[in-house]
Amino acid sequence: MIPLPIGQLFDAKAFEVRNRVAVAMVGCGILVLGARLLLVQVVRGEQYEQFAAIERVAKVRASAPRGLLLGHEGEVLARNIESHRLELLPHRIQPQRVEPLLQTLRGLLDLTDAEVTAAGAELRRLAGKRSKPVIMRRDLVSTHCPFDSQRLELVAATDYAFCQTCGRSFEPPPKVATCPVDRKKLVPSGNGDGVHCPACSREFSGAKACPYDETHLHHGPHILRCPMCGRTFDDEVARLRSHAHLLPEARVRTEIQREYPLRYLASHVLGYTSRVNDRDLRPLEEGGDARFQLDDRIGRTGLESALDTLLRGVDGEEVLVRRRGLEERSDVQEMLAELKPMPVIPGLSARLTLDLALQREAKTAMAHVHSGAVVALDVRTGAVRLLYSKPSFDPNSWAGRLTAERKARVDSSPFSPMLNKALHPFPPASVFKVVAAAAGLEQGVVRPSTIHHCPGYYEFGGRRFRCHKHSGHGDVDLRAAIAQSCDVYFYKVGEALGIDALAALGAEMGFGEATGIELREATGLLPTRAWYEGGRGRYFPGLSLSSAVGQGDVTATPLQVARVYAGLARDGVLPDVTLIERFEAAGAAVTPLLRGADRPMRLQAETLRQLKRGLLAVVQDDIGSGSRARLPGVTVCGKTGTAEAAQRAPSDAPPDIVRWMLDDHAWFVGFAPAEAPEIVVVALVEHGGSGGHVAAPIVQRVLERYFSRRGQPGATAPSAEPAPAAVDEP
Amino acid sequence: MSALRELRRPSNLVGLGALASIGAAAMLNLWFIDSLGETSFHRIQAVWLLVGLVSGGLLSVTSVDLVRRLAAPAYIALILLLSAVLLFAVPINHSKRWLDFGPMRMQPSEFMKLSVILALADVFDRARATAPWTIRRLGWPLLLILIPFGLINVEPDLGTSLCVLLIGGSMILYEGVSRRTIIGSALVMLLLVPLAWTSGLVRDYQKGRVVEWASLDEEAVQSRRIAPASQPEQALWAVGSGRWLGRGMEDARTSVLRHLPFVYTDFALAAWASVYGFVGTLGLFGVYFALLWWALHVADRAHQRFDALVCAGAASLIFWQFVVNAGMVMGLLPVVGLTLPLMSYGGSSVLTVMMSCGLVLNVALRRRAHG
């Protein structure tokens, strides 16, 4: 072992000094720390204690409540409700727990065997795996009726029985043999142990087994009742929540859902909202919208889409503070205020111009037709009082509860329920004749006294243009030509004018342009010579004849027609059409909507007078084609139209659809009172037949409704009358 | 038995008493921290304290010759282990620090501190000259410090590498350095700091901690848009909530501590301060001071340069870890991953501290043997 050189030169004195210095430095260090400790614990201790009491401070996104859509009198057309769904979390479920879990749920909810079997199979497949929750049931009953969204009321418990095979609920049999809700006579059901109402298919039975399949019935109490439909329910959400300890694998999720209480009545105006999809959630650079998050809802059609930004409001932040038992102190409040959470700006509510009484009247008046639209405008303001398109759809189904079958049924319908026909272009036919008449008068081609002979047809360019009255109208002047809707007269006017003059004045009168309504609308078409030559094939002079009677390639939307006639009714000034009365924030009106200006048609007063004379004769003269729109006590002006619109049906269409599609479109537009017009109503019945026969009565009913109410003082509020229960689409 | 007589000296009783007190405080504190969650750090720490007691005890009675002979091989072995860490270790929290030995994990950088103390003491003691040292003659010692510093720094483990630097620097200063060298190196340091900041030697997360620390004053805390509060902020609030006499365990248990990350290691002092308040914490500081005073007192009484240097080195090891950790918990310094000696949970750290104390005790017990 090599000896180590231990005991080197060692200046103990020098080290003594160093040791003292070292001890002093250590002391200094600890003194500094002690001073800091004093500062932190004693001087600022109280404040830090407050901060420490805050267990968690978090800012979370606070969703802005979506604004409501209200009718003209404040009726709620679209509101927000809570919707609950029961989810089962597969990753928390062990395979052997599936059966007991379903049995527990069965005791809490009315589940049919089929539902249980389906859920059981799904759960056994996913048990223990991380996957999306299995949705056991949507629309759990809690506060609103799942059938008509009415708020449920609490009642004394009523007994009911549930069949787990067919899913029917049986109420105890009533003392009398009529349905307690609709007073219909009850008829025996199944094996005769029970009775049911043929109208509302409500079932009654006191038996132990289901009258249909003899399954033993499951009895229980119901404590909620829908004041609208009279059905009784149990609060399923409360039941599930109170049994949460038995269901660790399940959770009830709440979402805000848009609810449209009037269902089919104004769905094309309102549109619907649905949850954002992957397309909406695309990042900004891919054309997406950065505003949206996963559970957001977005307006898809109608006003929900058009006003989406205003209705949506601005999401803000909420400061969540979890603190312990210390008393609240102002400096903590200050600290939280310093966090500056973004405030939530609630969405604006929109009060619409729609008059629901008229809307209902139109719906009833159209009950017998397959497809069409009714529009009514306030002549003085351009406010849309009525906009109904048939067939309609239930926006509630689209707002999250849409089943595949339902969507398939709507998509395959030949009547296009989702299409807003009030804003869809159709050949206007004779209602367009006012353009030919006005152009003729303005250009001097025709005078009120000009008489043409109508033999029932007009030969032009080697082709025979037929009048709708094949036997001919004989000699007619302008007023009679408008009143009887004589095609030959207007063929001649059109021939003299040429297609471009017609298109020019048509545009001046408001055809072929946007009406200004907030919804997405088609503008229709006013063909010109240039339009035909620019890619639409050949122009030939005969086209100006068809254009003059609103056929050929001329198209217009019912709303456009309404606006044009409103313009004529108010002496040549076209109104800007709007659906919005005003926006409201917290019940108070906010900044009035910026509206487009009214536009003069630039027609001479004499021209307007002559047109009105003709339009008055249509309804009020015995020779007129629109006499079915006559109203006692009110003079009505109007114009009929019957558009040739035969379409080839798809090859697999049933024969009645093929026949339907061959028929003409029926138009009628009317305004009243003739002396001081207030309202203009347009009805279009797609493939409905003759305008005077089919469309005029619809307009007449709407006008009658309008004036009947106006006649009664103080009865202008439609909310005063009971809402008809029959809001469902027949 | 002269060793036993030495052991009974008041200074040694003070030092060992302080060590025992810290150990007891550590157990109490970790037991409390374990009650916050379902952890059992205090049991493992107890085992480590026992292991440390045995190894420290063994070191205290080992002949100084053997210790000196082992200094160089241990140093080389640890350098190899540090290289192995860089090559083979699995990163934990983005940092490669631990070597796996079956069921145990070892952190060679902790033992490197001890090894640097021994190596420096040995090198200085072998040198024929006395202080003051000049920069030219400091080549070897500096190399002995900078190699482990570099290896630990790239792990990355800024705290331990800085600790090695601080220990080495302290020992060099303790040995005595010429005035010119001190001023010169101070100037070089001043130049190097901004350079290190900008050149990327200081990593981004480290810069972030400095920025975090700089914004830790009162107003900044109030106006920060917090969600949730940062780790040093929470530590500061926990310390502050202790006030004069502390909240007591029951109260503190439900306090901010529950959500304070690393409360069982780097932020153990926050728990202590929250429970025992200013009085209790100042007492703990006093105990640490007693331990350090003892180490320096032993150094003062040492008869050999090696002994004095080892004691001073051990004192600097404990002192710097204590100051940096306490400063960090109280918001005086940015967050640096340095443990509070014995109080923080961690086997390697406990072992290192206990072995340093063992070395000091070794010197203390041999005082009369050569005299």
**Structure confidence by residue, pLDDT tens digits, A386-419:** 999 989 988 887 876 566 777 888 888 888 899 9
**Domain total in chain A:** 2
Indicate which of B122, B133, B217, B256 best probes the interface with A, i.e. most A CBs within 10 Å of its own CB: B256
Per-residue pLDDT at A96: 85
CA distance to partner chain A, nearest, from residue B8 (Å): 22
B176 interfacial to chain A (CB closer than 8 Å):
yes
> Of the given ranges (A127-141, A706-720, B252-266), which has the lowest mean pLDDT?
A706-720
Tokens 């406010």 — which residue?
A383
Q: Confirm whether A292 is domain-assigned.
A: yes
**Nearest-Cα residue of chain A relative to residue B328:** A33
Q: Print the SS3 string covering chain B.
A: CHHHHHHCCHHHHHHHHHHHHHHHHHHHHHHHHHHHCCCCHHHHHHHHHHHHHHHHHHHHHCCHHHHHHHHHHHHHHHHHHHHHHHHHCCCECCECCCEEECCEEECHHHHHHHHHHHHHHHHHHHCCCCCCECHHHHHHHHHHHHHHHHHHHCCCCHHHHHHHHHHHHHHHHHHCECHHHHHHHHHHHHHHHHHHHHHCCCCHHHHHHHHHHHCCCHHHHHHCCCCCCCHHHHHHHHHHCCCCCCCHHHHHHCCHHHHCCCCCCCCHHHHHHHHHHHHHHHHHHHHHHHHHHHHHHHHHHCCCHHHHHHHHHHHHHHHHHHHHHHHHHCCCCCCCCCCCCCCCCCHHHHHHHHHHHHHHHHHHHCHHHHC
Residue in A9, A49, A334 closest to B241 by CB = A49
Report how far residue A101's alpha carbon sits from residue A246's, in angstroms, rounded to the nearest whole number. Answer: 8
pLDDT bucket at A556, cuts 50 / 70 / 90: very high
Per-residue pLDDT at A332: 58
Per-residue pLDDT at B61: 85
Residue A8 to residue B239, Cβ atoms within 8 A: no
Residue A26 to residue B315, Cβ atoms within 8 A: yes
Per-residue pLDDT at A388: 95
Per-residue pLDDT at A185: 86
**Are A563 and A698 in the same domain?**
yes
The residue ranking higher by pLDDT, A613 or B180, is A613
Per-residue pLDDT at A309: 85
Read off the pLDDT of each residue in A578-588 and give the average, rounded to a whole number.
Answer: 84
Per-residue pLDDT at A686: 93
Q: What is the pLDDT of residues A468-484, one digit of tens each?
A: 888 888 899 999 999 99
pLDDT at B299 exceeding the cut of 90 = no
A61 interfacial to chain B (CB closer than 8 Å):
no
A48 interfacial to chain B (CB closer than 8 Å):
yes
Which residues fall within 8 angstroms of residue A404, CB to CB, at 6 or more apart? none
pLDDT bucket at A335, cuts 50 / 70 / 90: low
**Are A548 and A696 in the same domain?**
yes
Per-residue pLDDT at A726: 40
pLDDT bucket at A509, cuts 50 / 70 / 90: very high
Per-residue pLDDT at A59: 65
Residue B278 to residue A41, Cβ atoms within 8 A: yes
Per-residue pLDDT at A373: 95
The residue ranking higher by pLDDT, A29 or A177, is A29
Indicate which of A48, A57, A324, A329 best probes the interface with B, i.e. most B CBs within 10 Å of its own CB: A48
Of A288-292, B17-21, B140-144, the range with the highest mean pLDDT is B17-21
pLDDT bucket at B244, cuts 50 / 70 / 90: confident
pLDDT at B222 exceeding the cut of 80 = no
Indicate which of A13, A28, A30 best probes the interface with B, i.e. most B CBs within 10 Å of its own CB: A30
Residue in B228, B240, B255 closest to A57 by CB = B228
pLDDT at B331 exceeding the cut of 50 = yes
Residue A22 to residue B315, Cβ atoms within 8 A: yes
**Nearest-Cα residue of chain B relative to residue A3:** B65
Report how far residue A408's alpha carbon sits from residue A419's, in angstroms, rounded to the nearest whole number. Answer: 15
Per-residue pLDDT at A728: 43
CA distance to partner chain A, nearest, from residue B294 (Å): 10
B128 interfacial to chain A (CB closer than 8 Å):
yes
Spatial CA neighbour of B90 closest among B78, B98, B101: B98
Q: Confirm whether A299 is domain-assigned.
A: yes
Which residues fall within 8 angstroms of residue A1, CB to CB, at 6 or more apart? none
Per-residue pLDDT at B123: 83
Per-residue pLDDT at B54: 93
Q: Is this prediction's ipTM beyond 0.95?
A: no
Any idea what the CATH number is for the domain that residue A524 is in?
A: 3.40.710.10
Q: What separation in angstroms does the CA of A53 have from each of A43, A646, B35, B226, B231? A: 17, 78, 19, 15, 15
Q: Confirm whether A511 is domain-assigned.
A: yes
pLDDT at A327 exceeding the cut of 60 = no
pLDDT bucket at B103, cuts 50 / 70 / 90: low
Per-residue pLDDT at A711: 60
B312 interfacial to chain A (CB closer than 8 Å):
yes
pLDDT at A385 exceeding the cut of 90 = yes
Spatial CA neighbour of A353 closest among A71, A719, A715, A710: A71
Per-residue pLDDT at A461: 83
Averaged pLDDT score across all residues of chain B: 80
Report how far residue B10's alpha carbon sits from residue B265's, in angstroms, rounded to the nearest whole number. Answer: 32
> Of the given ranges (A6-10, A92-96, A649-653), which has the lowest mean pLDDT?
A6-10
Q: Confirm whether A90 is domain-assigned.
A: no
Report how far residue A455's alpha carbon sits from residue A451's, in angstroms, rounded to the nearest whole number. Answer: 13
Please write down the long-range contacts of A656-662, taking CB distance under 8 Å and 24 or more positions apart. A657/A414, A660/A370, A660/A414, A660/A687, A661/A414, A661/A687, A662/A687
Residues A336/A360, Cβ–Cβ less than 8 Å: no
Per CB-CB distance under 8 Å, the chain A contacts of B234 are: 52
Tokens 């007589």 — which residue?
B5
A55 interfacial to chain B (CB closer than 8 Å):
yes
Report how far residue A407's alpha carbon sits from residue B39's, in angstroms, rounded to the nearest whole number. Answer: 56
pLDDT at A329 exceeding the cut of 90 = no
Could you tell me the residue ranges of all domains in chain B?
Answer: 2-370
User: The tokens of A36 are what?
Assistant: 């800091």
A28 interfacial to chain B (CB closer than 8 Å):
no
Per CB-CB distance under 8 Å, the chain A contacts of B226 are: 57, 339
Residue B293 to residue A23, Cβ atoms within 8 A: yes
Per-residue pLDDT at A225: 84
Residue B259 to residue A55, Cβ atoms within 8 A: yes
Residue in A29, A52, A56 closest to B237 by CB = A52
Q: Count of residues for chain B?
A: 371
Report how far residue A511's alpha carbon sits from residue A495's, in angstroms, rounded to the nearest whole number. Answer: 20
Indicate which of B225, B291, B322 best probes the interface with A, i.e. most A CBs within 10 Å of its own CB: B225
CA distance to partner chain B, nearest, from residue A345 (Å): 21
pLDDT bucket at A148, cuts 50 / 70 / 90: low
pLDDT at B273 exceeding the cut of 70 = yes
Q: Count of residues for chain A?
A: 730
Residue B281 to residue A37, Cβ atoms within 8 A: yes
Please write down the long-range contacts of A592-599, taking CB distance under 8 Å and 24 or more positions apart. A595/A516, A596/A516, A598/A382, A598/A573, A598/A574, A599/A510, A599/A573, A599/A574
Q: What is the pLDDT of residues A164-180, one digit of tens each?
A: 888 888 888 888 888 87
Q: Confirm whether A707 is domain-assigned.
A: yes
Q: What separation in angstroms does the CA of A194 have from each of A166, A174, A200, A209, A553? A: 15, 11, 15, 10, 61
Read off the pLDDT of each residue in A156-170 and give the average, rounded to a whole number.
Answer: 85
**Are A615 and A499 in the same domain?**
yes
Residues B183-199, buried b or exposed e (16+ Cβ, 10 A)? eebeeeeeeeeeeeeee
Share of chain B above pLDDT 70, in %: 85
Per CB-CB distance under 8 Å, the chain B contacts of A322 are: none
Which residues of chain B from 185 to 204 reach within 8 Å of chain A, CB to CB?
none
Q: What is the pLDDT of residues A596-644, one digit of tens each?
A: 788 898 889 999 999 999 999 999 888 888 888 898 889 999 999 999 8
pLDDT at A325 exceeding the cut of 60 = no
Q: Confirm whether A236 is domain-assigned.
A: no
Which residues fall within 8 angstroms of residue B292, CB to CB, at 6 or more apart? A23, A26, B315, B318, B319, B322
Per-residue pLDDT at A374: 95
Per-residue pLDDT at B25: 92
pLDDT bucket at B226, cuts 50 / 70 / 90: very low
Number of cross-chain residue pairs from A and B with Cβ atoms under 8 Å apart? 172
**Are A433 and A337 in the same domain?**
no
Q: Report the SS3 class of residue A317.
A: strand
Residue in A12, A30, A335 closest to B285 by CB = A30
pLDDT at A308 exceeding the cut of 70 = yes
Per-residue pLDDT at A574: 92
Q: Confirm whether A439 is domain-assigned.
A: yes
Residue A52 to residue B293, Cβ atoms within 8 A: no
Tokens 């429970």 — which residue?
B275
Residues A399/A259, Cβ–Cβ less than 8 Å: yes
pLDDT bucket at A697, cuts 50 / 70 / 90: very high
**Are A339 and A435 in the same domain?**
no
pLDDT bucket at A56, cuts 50 / 70 / 90: low
B308 interfacial to chain A (CB closer than 8 Å):
yes
Residue B330 to residue A37, Cβ atoms within 8 A: yes
Read off the pLDDT of each residue in A272-295 and give the average, rounded to a whole number.
Answer: 72
Read off the pLDDT of each residue in A499-515 and give the average, rounded to a whole number.
Answer: 91
User: The tokens of A296 are what?
Assistant: 């957001």
Per-residue pLDDT at B368: 54
**Are A308 and A370 in the same domain?**
no
Residues B321/B341, Cβ–Cβ less than 8 Å: yes
pLDDT at A507 exceeding the cut of 80 = yes
Averaged pLDDT score across all residues of chain A: 83
**Nearest-Cα residue of chain A relative to residue B318:** A26
Per-residue pLDDT at A191: 83
**Are A439 and A542 in the same domain?**
yes
B131 interfacial to chain A (CB closer than 8 Å):
yes
**Are A344 and A446 in the same domain?**
no
Q: What is the pLDDT of residues B17-69, one digit of tens each?
A: 999 999 999 998 888 888 776 778 888 888 989 999 999 989 888 888 888 88
Read off the pLDDT of each residue in A702-714 and give the average, rounded to a whole number.
Answer: 75
CA distance to partner chain B, nearest, from residue A325 (Å): 10
> Which DSSP letter does residue A464 get?
E
**Nearest-Cα residue of chain A relative to residue B221:** A335
* Residue ranges making up the domain that contains A426: 356-396+421-580+611-714
**Are A560 and A633 in the same domain?**
yes
**Within 13 Å and on the Cβ side, how many CA atoms surround A186?**
22
**Nearest-Cα residue of chain B relative to residue A56:** B228
**Are A335 and A388 in the same domain?**
no
**Are A337 and A371 in the same domain?**
no
A324 interfacial to chain B (CB closer than 8 Å):
yes
CA distance to partner chain A, nearest, from residue B257 (Å): 9
CA distance to partner chain B, nearest, from residue A112 (Å): 45
**Nearest-Cα residue of chain B relative to residue A42:** B243
pLDDT at A579 exceeding the cut of 60 = yes
Of A41-55, A369-383, B331-345, the range with the highest mean pLDDT is A369-383
**Are A569 and A548 in the same domain?**
yes
Instruction: Tell me the Cα Rg of chain B.
Output: 21
Read off the pLDDT of each residue in A673-696 and give the average, rounded to a whole number.
Answer: 92
The end-to-end CA distance of chain B, in Å, is 15
**Nearest-Cα residue of chain B relative to residue A60:** B227
Q: What is the pLDDT of residues B72-100, one digit of tens each?
A: 888 999 888 888 888 877 777 667 777 77
Per-residue pLDDT at B212: 67
Residue A19 to residue B300, Cβ atoms within 8 A: yes
Per CB-CB distance under 8 Å, the chain A contacts of B278 are: 37-38, 41-42, 45
A45 interfacial to chain B (CB closer than 8 Å):
yes
State the DSSP H helix or E strand holding residue A125, giving kind and residue range, or none if neither: helix A113-126
Q: Confirm whether A534 is domain-assigned.
A: yes
pLDDT bucket at A246, cuts 50 / 70 / 90: confident
Residues A461/A476, Cβ–Cβ less than 8 Å: no
